[in-house]
Amino acid sequence: MKEHLLQIGEFPPFVQAMIDERYQCHHRSDIERDEGLRIRVRGIITRSNYEVPADLVRTLPHLGIIATCGVGYDGIPVELARDLGIRVTNTPDVLNSAVAELAIGMMLSLLRRLPAADRYVRAGRWGAVQWPLGESLAGKRVGMVGLGRIGKEIAARLEGFDVRLAYHGRTDQGLRYRFQPDILALANDSDILVVTAPGGPATRHLIGREVLRALGPDAYLVNIARGSLVDEDSLLEALAGGIIAGAALDVYENEPRIDQRFLELENVLLLPHIGSATHQTRHAMAILALNNLEHFFRDGSVLTPV
């Protein structure tokens, strides 16, 4: 007999097939129609870019585990889950490379204006209009805002690009990269500021008007973490007003209905939250999430608790 799960969010077809092979999945609309289903739900499977509402969790009397595909859990009521004895699991590490690779691609796309160069060729402008020079990544000062698992993977890859690395975070980790306890000082001393810190109330709008002004008119912002870390009104003002040179965003305060003002700007690269979006990575994340569920239903244990 398959365990019943509440599924929040859409999964790639191959992942959905893996889930359906093992579990009987219901969506929120199903359990709102049928109270009998509500009491049968013992687990939630979700993705880290979806929210698991606290009021929903409270209505599932036999819920024992919330398993997310993703490393972030800022959309999950973790404290409530803890109070109710509900395990919460994520999928750390298996997505580090994919996210780090994308961050490097975002930086190169910004500095060499790769999307605009592609459009220039496709528009038949090559030969008619000279393509403007870009910026080298080599020699740049890169400031990492947060140096956790993913930040360290980005930094390790950047070492091959002959950049100067520094980082801001809660503590000095004693690494070979310079620690900067003051985020304004880090921004002031960076050509590229890369945001990799976790989302949540503690980091909301960490990147605001002051940090952007400290970053300066020849510098760039890259956000591969969570939209909540950046005050988007300040960012939009900085991009439109030349306060910073440009930005590359994979995450936004409101996904997928992002602030339409971004679409009017040429100096921002807009990606649709694809940090972990590779076949290999999503497969590994699904396996880990399913292994968490399997362990829990077998003996109450989990592999990667948050």
What does the binding site for ligand 8YV look like in residue numbers (CB under 6 A)? 47-49, 69-72, 95, 273, 275-276, 285
Shortest CB 35 distance to ligand 8YV, Å: 29
Beta carbon nearer to ligand 8YV, 247 or 285: 285
CB 58 within 8 A of CB 16: no
**Which one, of 204, 202, 98, lies nearest residue 149 by Cα?**
98
Catalytic residue among 51, 101, 255, 294: 255
CB 56 within 8 A of CB 84: no
Beta carbon nearer to ligand 8YV, 111 or 222: 222
Tell me how far apart the alpha carbons of residues 158 and 139 are, in angstroms, rounded to a whole number: 11
Pairing mode, strands 65-69 and 4-8: unpaired
Does residue 283 carry a catalytic annotation? no
Beta carbon nearer to ligand 8YV, 42 or 47: 47
Does residue 157 carry a catalytic annotation? no
Shortest CB 10 distance to ligand 8YV, Å: 10
Shortest CB 292 distance to ligand 8YV, Å: 14
Sheet holding 41-47, edge to edge: 24-26, 4-8, 41-47, 65-69, 87-89
159-178: string of b/e by CB count within 10 Å (b at 16+)?
eebebebbbbbeeeeeeebe
Does residue 113 carry a catalytic annotation? no
SS3 of 18, please? Answer: helix
Facing residues of 194 across strands? 144, 222
Q: How many CB atoms lie within 10 A of CB 85?
A: 8
| E strand or H helix at 210 | helix 209-215
Shortest CB 134 distance to ligand 8YV, Å: 28
Catalytic residue among 4, 38, 273, 282: 273
Shortest CB 165 distance to ligand 8YV, Å: 23
Angle between helices 96-112 and 149-158 (to 10 degrees): 50
Tell me how far apart the alpha carbons of residues 148 and 290 are, in angstroms, rounded to a whole number: 24
Beta carbon nearer to ligand 8YV, 23 or 177: 23
Catalytic residue among 26, 47, 226, 282: 226
Amino acid (one-letter) located at 22: R
CB 163 within 8 A of CB 141: yes
Beta carbon nearer to ligand 8YV, 47 or 87: 47
SS3 of 193, please? Answer: strand
Shortest CB 73 distance to ligand 8YV, Å: 8
Beta carbon nearer to ligand 8YV, 94 or 268: 94
> What positions carry a catalytic annotation?
226, 255, 273
